[in-house]
Amino acid sequence: MTTTPTQPSASPHHLDFATSLTQWEYAPAPESVRPEIAQRYGLFINGEFVEPHGSQSRGTQDTSFPSINPATETTICEVAQGSAADIDAAVRAAREAFPAWAALPAKERGKYLFRIARRIQERARELAVLETLDGGKPIRESRDIDIPLAAAHFFYHAGWADKLHFAFPGSRAGQTPAPLGVCGQ
């Protein structure tokens, strides 16, 4: 039994797979585009990027270190290296900002955390590419696990912000948990 090619049908429902497969156009995958990366990143202290004070405790003046892509062994960018003086400056700035932060109602503080989560979601593909370039891990792991998990943590804590009085059953009436102070990691 032999088949002969048929002429394309005039029907709008006719699909011509022989030509349609070669005519599809694909948009470039976000993972194939290198995100915009600065050559150097400073320390983010008190709402702005600042240059580090150096690390005199180690006897060097090195104020940065390279972030290297382990797949290509090329330098992605230079990252500022903080010293004890830089840590003191960051803690001092946080302590100065703390009274205004503590004075905000918990619901308002939660909105800030929620906005951070949304910004992570909005830029998830770009952040996943950066994480993959910096850490050498598969894009699938960065894109499907690491970045969504970071956003999920902020969503989780944002959701608790206005429910804190329910988190401590048996506490005295009118007693609401309050921010305690500055911490760092």
Q: What is the pLDDT of residues 138-157, one digit of tens each?
A: 999 999 999 999 999 999 99
pLDDT at 80 over 70: yes
Listed in order, strand segments (DSSP E) in the chain are 40-41, 43-45, 48-50, 64-69, 74-80
The structure's pTM equals: 0.71
Identify the burial level of 142 via C-beta atoms within 10 angstroms of its C-beta, where 0-12 means exposed, 13-18 middle and 19 or more buried: buried
Kindly state the average pLDDT of the residues 50-56: 76
Task: Decide which of 100 and 164 is more confident.
Answer: 100
Element (H, E) at 158: helix 147-160
Are the C-beta atoms of residues 43 and 80 closer than 8 Å to each other?
Answer: yes
Contact (Cβ atoms closer than 8 angstroms) between residue 67 and residue 74 = no
The pLDDT score that the predictor gives to residue 170 is 67
- 79-93 residues labelled b (16+ CB within 10 A) or e (exposed): ebbbbeebeebbeeb
State percent of the chain over pLDDT 90.
57
Are 167 and 176 in contact by the 8 Å Cβ rule? The answer is no
Average pLDDT over residues 27-48: 80
Report, as an integer, the average pLDDT of 89-108: 93
Is 184:87 a contact under the CB 8 Å cutoff?
yes
- Band (pLDDT 50/70/90 cuts) for residue 174 is low
What's the confidence (pLDDT) of residue 36?
85
pLDDT-above-70 percentage for the chain: 70
Residue 121 neighbours by CB under 8 Å, 6+ apart: 148, 151
Query: How many CB atoms are located within 10 Å of the residue 133 CB?
Result: 23
Nearest alpha-carbon partner for 177 in 92, 105, 81 = 105
The pLDDT of 120-131, averaged and rounded, is: 93
What mean pLDDT value characterizes the chain? 81
